[in-house]
Structure 1
Amino acid sequence: MPLALNRAVEAGMKPYLLMLCGAFAFSLMGIFTHAAARVFDWQVIALARSGTALVLALALATAAGTPLVFLRPRTLWIRSIAGSLSVLCNFFALAHMNVADALALTNMFPVWIAVLSWPVLGRVPGRDVWLSVGCAMAGVALMLKPTGEGGLGTLLAATGSVTSAVALMGLHRLRHIAANAVVVHFSAVSVVILTGLWLIVPATRPLQTLPDQLLSDGWLLLGVGLGATVGQLMLTKAFAVGAPARVSIVALSQVVFAMVIESLLWQRTYDPMTLTGILMVLGPTGWMLLRRPLREESAE
């Protein structure tokens, strides 16, 4: 069995397994974010996410002796800026919407990934990719029932999916750079952008209460940062070694993870239509994980 598993990984399973682990970490990040929003402003949560990721990724890179990059290549800056905009949009949505609903919207990026893979990477997605994307996104649509509330959160979550697509396409072009170095650069840029935003858009809660909030509920921010860091490292490695259009489908599983965790923690219930959506998201994920791996470069 171990030998068979090793062969499967070597044959092409590795990026999908990495992305599945990353998806679970991101779902935990969303849960911690939603819980922390009851105490902290969303700007504080987003800044804590990027700050924690920066410290941890920098420590890992230093321990591993990974050379850091800053000025070049240009794609690294595109990835970091687009990713930072995604953090901004996504954390506002996670703080103001149910976690599963927010993740469903932010995970619309596979549609844009599949489209951008053609002009950016010169890869025409195969029929199986388009069918999988269509099935998964139809499932997301069933899981998400607009109520007319949270209009700004919905708009920003959808916008975040577009900027995420740009960032993730950049990751595939940065596969020659160590994942730690990419995460350090992205996190540093994100901290700068979010700090500037905090100065422009003031927090709604008085800053004087922040120290007491950190003492009593700072562990929630730590959970956000740890989930984000683990998820980011897994995602970076997955997109570096796998075809973006396929790996992005597996990333949709974080919506399912979030729905399960919300049910366990906050007793959120789901109707048959929502459960059907879960199966339609799980289907493409299982297909990508269990099918005989194809040679992705030639298949796309």
Structure 2
Amino acid sequence: MNFLTPGMRLMLLGTFFFSVGSLFVKMAGSRLPTMEVLFVRGLVGVVLCLIMLRKSGAGMFGKRKILLAARGILGFGAMFADFYAIVHLPLADALVLIFSHPVTVALLAWALMGERLSKSAMFSIIMSLAGVTLVCRPGFLFGGAPELDPLGLLAALVSVFLTSWAILSVRVLAKTEPPAVVMLYPPIAISLLAPLFIDGWVMPTAFEWGVLVGVGVFMNIGQFFMTKGYAIESAARISGVSTLEIVFAAMWGMLFLGEIPDLWTVGGGSLIIFGVLALGRSGMRERAAALRKGVAG
């Protein structure tokens, strides 16, 4: 995959594992409360991170404890807002808002971290978001939708804001902290805070326990690869790769849930893939230019 930068390849791998975890979330959430699913994911994440930390010999709590703790709270808040928006808004409206975070990340990374964002890279991100819009077909853009719940709309916007800051914090922390340390704090926050929002506990069946463990394993593996990607790549550029999760989700829906993608989904997915490939070409050109400049200097 020479058309993708190393950081984008890691993000692509992480997004794939996340999409598998999302399939398990959908399966588990058909009967179990969402916060219960999130709580189990947090517990599995803590166990996996502690195993990785023990094997790597890295300290458990890291060097930048305040920023790490903030990362954990941001991660929990973003996921909580995601769930609230998805429950209280039409799914398409919620997803198109939630997946608009790459543009916010790009702007924040440019404004606060001085990360360069070329015109072609910005165009590629916008192209990917246009694909997300076609796949989701939100009612407020395509018509025929009831008035949106104001609190649900606010939750979706809060999700975009918190997710963007969480991504930037990962970008900063990944330069000095091992991936397992960066990953540890969100599941700790989830494990401590999610029970406060669980409205009754539903005992999972044996099959559901397996699905819940799958949620934790696949999503935390996805987070591991994403964290490594942020350590070596521009946050603005590789965050756009996360929009591919919708393409993977459409594929899983067709294979396992009997959901056949329509022409809108195919067209939107094509735009997303085109945008990601264009981002990769832009990144490779920028890296080559930087190398030439370094050699010339």
State the TM-score, normalizing by the size of structure 2.
Answer: 0.84
Aligned length: 282
Aligned CA distance change for structure 1 residues 215 and 228 (closer, same or farther; 3 Å):
same
C-alpha distance after superposition, 1:85-124 (max 9, x if no partner): 1222334566788988865543221011011112220234
1:246 to 229, 237, 240: 237
Aligned CA distance change for structure 1 residues 176 and 288 (closer, same or farther; 3 Å):
same
Aligned match of 1:90: 82
Give the CA deviation at 1:130. 1.2
Aligned match of 1:257: 248
CA distance in 2, matches of 1:45, 1:154: 23
Alignment of 1:1-300 (within 5 A): 13-69=5-61, 72-92=64-84, 104-146=96-138, 148=145, 156-174=155-173, 175-198=175-198, 202-203=199-200, 207=201, 209-210=202-203, 213-289=204-280, 292-295=284-287
CA distance in 1, matches of 2:288, 2:75: 25
CA RMSD of aligned residues (A): 2.9
Give the CA deviation at 1:222. 0.9
Q: Is the 8 A contact 2:18 2:218 kept in 1?
A: yes
Give the CA deviation at 1:281. 0.5
CA distance in 2, matches of 1:290, 1:113: 20
Identity rate, percent: 24
For the residue of structure 2 that corresponds to 1:294, the secondary structure is helix
Give the CA deviation at 1:169. 0.5
Q: Specify the code of the residue in structure 1 equivalent to 2:49.
A: A
Q: Is the 8 A contact 1:33 1:94 kept in 2?
A: no
CA distance in 2, matches of 1:245, 1:185: 23
Aligned CA distance change for structure 1 residues 296 and 26 (closer, same or farther; 3 Å):
farther
Aligned CA distance change for structure 1 residues 103 and 157 (closer, same or farther; 3 Å):
same
For the residue of structure 1 that corresponds to 2:31, the secondary structure is coil
C-alpha distance after superposition, 1:170-193 (max 9, x if no partner): 111112100011111222122212
Unaligned runs of at least 5 residues, structure 1: none
CA distance in 1, matches of 2:65, 2:114: 20
After the TM superposition, which segments of 4 or more aligned residues of structure 1 sit over 6 Å from their partners? 94-101, 296-299
Aligned CA distance change for structure 1 residues 48 and 240 (closer, same or farther; 3 Å):
same
Give the CA deviation at 1:36. 0.5
Unaligned runs of at least 5 residues, structure 2: 140-144, 292-297
Q: Is the 8 A contact 2:95 2:136 kept in 1?
A: no
CA distance in 2, matches of 1:283, 1:237: 24
Q: Is the 8 A contact 2:92 2:138 kept in 1?
A: no
Q: Is the 8 A contact 2:96 2:138 kept in 1?
A: no
